[in-house]
A and B are shown apart, each in its own frame.
Chain A
Amino acid sequence: MATTLTIDQFDTITNFIYRKTGIRFESKKMYFISKRLNMRMQNLGMDNTLDYIHLLLYNDRFDTEFHNLIDLLTINETYFFRDFNQLQTFAEQCLDEVCKRKAAAGDYKLRLWSAACSSGEEPYTLAIILQEMLDNYRHWEIEIIASDIDRKILNKARKAEYNDRSVREVPPGYFKKYFENITVDGKSCYRLRNTITRMVKFEQVNLSSRDAIRDHLNFDFIFCRNLLIYFDDVSRKNLVDQFYIALNPGGYVFLGSSESVSRISTVFKVKRMNNYLVYYK
């Protein structure tokens, strides 16, 4: 039988998750969290929410249950134009501001880092946005670095072939312009055109390794969405510190929209753009 969460229990669990990961769950997600908690409790044969909370907070020595819960709570599916509102703020506000500033100084280089690129949807999305939003796009020297720890997923990213689910949020005009229909192993899928794929350079990088990340510098934008929750405190802090060092002055860092940069580090400035909080150097 499903048990309900009280507001105090909801606060206890979400504060705990926030302290450990920086992810904030708003109160409107109470039902969503309640359902997922019930799934974990059922799995463990528990019927008392307080017992489960006690397990999570005090008896989960290796964070095993914590990770099981986080896996259920975080929707890790990647697809083009994921988190549209955040990308819209990037495209219409942040990009415009940075480009105007750089152009005024005669600097036409733009560097972006998609730090946990997985199968490539994020960096390719950024490439599409740049092509669509930049005035005199060809005057700019653009470099998008896309990194991931997983070599196999990087190979998949380089192929740039995607199924229906990955492309479902691509605006129709962009879809027609940047994707072509192909058949792979008898199945219909979509390949990105060269005009986009050649903008992205893929690299294998272990973001937990201090040495591996220290040579990544001079970026105008860094995206690292929905990854930091899986890091321990020290690795997370080191990585966010590196993001700070790696950004050019006035550059922006984007985590997942429910992740809080300021929970991890207070060195970034924050402002509201388009009703959205953005973090910059």
Chain B
Amino acid sequence: MDHLLKALDSQNEAERIYAVQDIGELNDAQYTIPLINRLKLEHSSPVRESIVFCLKNVDCKEIYDDLFQLFRSTDAYLRNAAVMVFGSDGEQAVAFLESRLDDADKEVRKLILDALYETKSDHAKQAIRVGLNDPAENVVITAVEYLGLLNDSDSAEKMLKMLQRDSTVPMLKTAILSAILEMNQSDDMSRALLLFMTDSNIQGVDTLYFPEIVQLMAKTKDKQAICDVLYTLDDISVYAEDIIRAVNIAKQRFETFLDDNQIIDILMSVIQNSNIQNSIRSNAIELLLESSVVTSEQFYQLGLKIKNDEDMIFETIRFLELSGDAAGIKEITDIMNTTKDPELRVLCEEIVNQ
């Protein structure tokens, strides 16, 4: 073991990396001390990275105080490394982190919340809730975000009270709305929505909150109200993701939502709009395919319209296949014979040979 500790201080970068790997193989908590001491001095990125990787795979309670001091480092890498190493220790690290939440430095308090979240522990929720009372806005926002992700419905009441206050800054309001959505409790969502709009007219709402309001509508309002709101959103490129997300939510609540002609129009507009991110267009396609009113001819035509868009080629294949048309199979065969993409070729072969 002495030779490994000596190698950890070698002038040769490769030797230091090998030493870290070999120490890691021992999987012994006592060696976290020389590793963290090396990390504090180390300038080489590969060696640092190896040390952090190693620490994430071993019990680090021997070095919690040293790790905590890294939260005060001016080096962002070291701060982030400490968050990840605490996180990797899971439940074991929660009590230590919680005991430090009264630190005088708001940036340190924020990092503690980051680390608590990374532990993925149930007990972390209770600790993170303390952050809702923090005097620093960034800490409160961080706490709200994490509690939403952790689905902590017990903190919803407090968040709704914050939402009602005029003094609450927009960024915090947005975070609270997102958290309420994550928690997905019907009453809380309805109450949040009422604070922004009392009828189905979204035009009076600050556009900053449109994405969250649209989702809240989709989760709580009736079918017609949802359609009305989606149509009043003028710029489809800007709100495409929110629209599609809302349609996804609404279709789970209303069986015939996707058969509505106006919804079909919206979906087709999104699919053909090359200014919209491809993942959103793909999702619009998935939704369109669930509709029972779209015809084979419409699928074929849609396939031809997006055929030259390289990023939509897989979807093109799909539409052409769905058209059930000999012309569609011919188009697929042409693509199969010219493509250099092995996945695309295999897919075309499967369809053509069916």
Contacts and interface: CB of A to CB of B under 8 A. Distances in A.
Given A29-B314, A241-B46, A7 B280 contact: yes
A7 B14 contact: no
A32 B53 contact: no
B314 A30 contact: yes
Interface stretch (B59-67, B100-108, B215-223, B339-347): B339-347
A219 interface: no
B138 interface: no
Contact of B282 (A8, A28, A169, A237): A28
Given A7-B286, A237-B53, A245 B340 contact: no
Interface string A216-247: 00000000000000000110011001001100
Contact of B315 (A28, A234, A244): A28
B149 interface: no
A7 B49 contact: no
Contacts of B13: 245
Interface in B311-354: 311-315, 317-318, 340, 342-344, 346-347
Given A6-B283, A237-B53, A245 B17 contact: yes
Interface residues of A, number: 33
Contacts of B24: 234
A26 B242 CA distance: 20
Nearest to A214: B18
A234 B313 CA distance: 37
Contact of B278 (A5, A28, A75, A84): A28
A8 to B, nearest CB: 8
Interface in A10-29: 10-11, 26-29
B50 interface: yes
Contact of B289 (A4, A75, A214, A266): A4
Contact of A5 (B280, B286, B344): B286
A27 B248 contact: no
A77 B303 CA distance: 29
Nearest to A25: B343
A267 B49 CA distance: 8
A27 B282 CA distance: 7
Give the one of B244, B283, B312 with max A CB within 10 A. Answer: B283
Nearest to B244: A7
B45 interface: yes
Give the one of A8, A11, A214, A245 with max B CB within 10 A. Answer: A245
Nearest to A30: B282
A4 B343 contact: no
A193 interface: no
B28 to A, nearest CB: 15
Interface string A66-90: 0000000001010000101100000
Interface string B196-208: 0000000000000
Contacts of B244: 7
A214 B19 CA distance: 12
Contacts of A6: 248, 283, 286
A75 B342 contact: yes
Contacts of A59: none
B1 to A, nearest CB: 17
A263 interface: no
B290 interface: yes
A11 B283 CA distance: 11
A31 interface: yes
Contacts of A245: 13-14, 17, 46
B121 interface: no
Contacts of B14: 245
A265 interface: yes
A79 B184 CA distance: 50
Contact of B21 (A5, A29, A238): A238
Interface string A143-158: 0000000000000000
A139 B318 CA distance: 52
A121 B315 CA distance: 32
Contacts of B283: 6-7
Contact of B279 (A7, A31, A238, A244): A7
B42 to A, nearest CB: 13
Give the one of A10, A30, A75, A85 with max B CB within 10 A. Answer: A30
B149 to A, nearest CB: 14
Interface in A31-57: 31-32, 35
A210 interface: yes
Given A4-B289, A28-B314, A245-B14, A266 B282 contact: no
A77 B46 contact: no
Given A7-B286, A234-B57, A31 B280 contact: no
A29 B279 CA distance: 10
Contacts of A28: 278, 282, 311-315
B278 A32 contact: no
A117 to B, nearest CB: 19
26 contacts: A4-B286, A7-B283, A11-B279, A26-B311, A27-B279, A28-B311, A28-B314, A29-B343, A30-B286, A30-B314, A31-B315, A31-B317, A31-B347, A32-B343, A75-B343, A75-B346, A234-B24, A234-B57, A241-B21, A241-B46, A244-B17, A245-B13, A245-B17, A245-B46, A265-B49, A267-B45
Interface of A: 4-8, 10-11, 26-32, 35, 75, 77, 82, 84-85, 169, 210, 214, 233-234, 237-238, 241, 244-245, 265-267
Interface of B: 13-14, 17-18, 21-22, 24-25, 45-46, 49-50, 53, 57, 244, 248, 277-280, 282-283, 286, 289-290, 311-315, 317-318, 340, 342-344, 346-347
